[in-house]
Structure 1
């Protein structure tokens, strides 16, 4: 009998976890000849999320499992940990807030059973209910990264997806410390079908993904899947150097032709210094971002640390 593993990364999901479990159970019980296991991953929650996981495990110890981190390592680490312990022939990643519609599970499994696809993923066609500024930044991110990266990332793609065991093993083989799963899912390849749906708001609680956290996540994604910022630093440095040389030549020629004239004054000099200094700091910052990623990777620290597992 085929087995489906449901991986659920959780951070402060005390209110929604029981609702999530009931909603998913209602769907999976309708799928015949399918064994199901749950892997709930507590990413160092500060509320009673772990207590809710323990309760669900006590009520259904054979199918509901959980693991908790020693601290908050981030959603990417939680997803990786869940994939690492999942034993199913098929593995699905879902958020606990029910923004990933459980009703899709039956359709996903049916498509996977056909054997044509290795992954059935989802993408949102709109962002109703989200702040307009956050939606704008998200749209711009997808446009930028798909222009500068060779790995195509589908706009609006969610982590909510069902994957074959072969694809899961391929994702697990990428043990990079700085993880951007949307890029990793695309980079490993495999034939993927996307199901579209309109945005669904959280059933309870509040999201932990602030605009600043999303911005940092986007910067990690760009650094992980594109070297374009490094090329930008090179071009900026080259352009500023050429402009400086031309400016120097202009000043010398003007001094020769008009000995009595002075330079443009201290104001223009300050502007030039600030311009060149700013370009240098920008380029150093870009290079530093990549060096920082290398530094974290070569230290070979674990992606996560498990405190408790059941």
Structure 2
């Protein structure tokens, strides 16, 4: 029987948290009373995550393990889960248990009762996160709301439930490197929000360091807005205006004979104009890089193993 619910879980080096994750997720999904699959996407883990998943799948038929050939990133692992999920309802959740799995039951109730296509999990309390993470997250969502639009749910990460219509719409998008927390609200399907308190990571260490968060912010901005290009234009105009002022100042000093040609004005002019030019080139480079990656048409991820294929091959043997 095809599952009605698919729970997509990207994982990368999560061996420390897996026992606690299974302990909470298994009874919860069994209690929902509908066919389901727990679709774990192993994003090229270097520890024993894959081995523990395959061992658990022996006694848990609904546990489906997909292994990517290499570490492709959190959003790419979600894309792999979306392309492989079979359920009419699809939930995405991380394995660190900061987002409580028990909220899935509330997601399902709200979606069915109100006939929605998306239910977002919104963090009402992030006191478990460090101050730098809370601050950068707040800045990120404010920036996204300003650039992309007010439809972006504030403080909603990748914990959500979507319908099959949304999954098919996302999979049909031609773009690579999609950011799910922006793409799904942008589609405009009927949605609601469910608030929850974000807990501390159950075990292990976070895989989303400052570098990855910065990369996510750049991908979010360049994928959904041309505002940085317009900023480059305005900075260019500002640089031209400042250059004109420097020229006027230099002419006044020369004509009045009140100063000896010095290096201060030259250094200031070169520094300001040079900084603006480098910033503009950097912004343009981000867009050129995205165009270059799109022109290569390389797959965002490659699936190396899917335990569902093993189950299909074993079915004829079991029915003999």
TM-score (norm. length: structure 2): 0.91
**Is 2:100–2:198's contact at 8 Å kept on the other side of the alignment?**
no
- C-alpha distance in structure 2 between counterparts of 1:233 and 1:263, whole Å: 35
For structure 1, the 5+ residue unaligned runs are none
Q: Deviations over 1:40-66 (max 9, x none)?
A: 1000001101011101221123x2111
Matches for 1:55-204 after TM superposition, within 5 Å: 55-61=55-61, 63-150=62-149, 152-204=151-203
**Is 2:75–2:180's contact at 8 Å kept on the other side of the alignment?**
yes
For structure 2, the 5+ residue unaligned runs are 308-320
Give the SS at the match of 2:185. helix
Q: Is residue 276 from structure 1 mapped to residue 273 from structure 2 by the alignment?
A: yes
- Report the aligned-residue RMSD: 1.7
- C-alpha distance in structure 2 between counterparts of 1:264 and 1:150, whole Å: 51
Give the SS at the match of 1:114. helix
How big is the shift at 1:115?
4.6
| Equivalences, count | 306
Give the SS at the match of 1:41. strand
Structure 1 window deviating more from structure 2 (230-239 vs 103-112): it is 103-112
Q: Deviations over 1:16-35 (max 9, x none)?
A: 22322221222222223x11
Q: Deviations over 1:154-202 (max 9, x none)?
A: 2210211111100111111124222211111111111111111122111
Give the 4+ runs in structure 1 shifted more than 4 A: none
How big is the shift at 1:99?
1.4
- C-alpha distance in structure 2 between counterparts of 1:47 and 1:291, whole Å: 36
Structure 1 window deviating more from structure 2 (128-137 vs 236-245): it is 128-137
Q: Deviations over 1:87-130 (max 9, x none)?
A: 11111111111112111121111122225311111011232132
- C-alpha distance in structure 2 between counterparts of 1:264 and 1:126, whole Å: 60
Q: Which residue of 2 aligns with 1:228?
A: 227
- C-alpha distance in structure 1 between counterparts of 2:228 and 2:260, whole Å: 35
**Is 2:182–2:220's contact at 8 Å kept on the other side of the alignment?**
yes
TM-score (norm. length: structure 1): 0.94
**Is 2:253–2:259's contact at 8 Å kept on the other side of the alignment?**
no
How big is the shift at 1:247?
2.5
Residues 58 and 137 of structure 1, relative CA distance in 2, 3 Å threshold: same
Give the SS at the match of 1:117. coil
**Is 2:6–2:39's contact at 8 Å kept on the other side of the alignment?**
yes
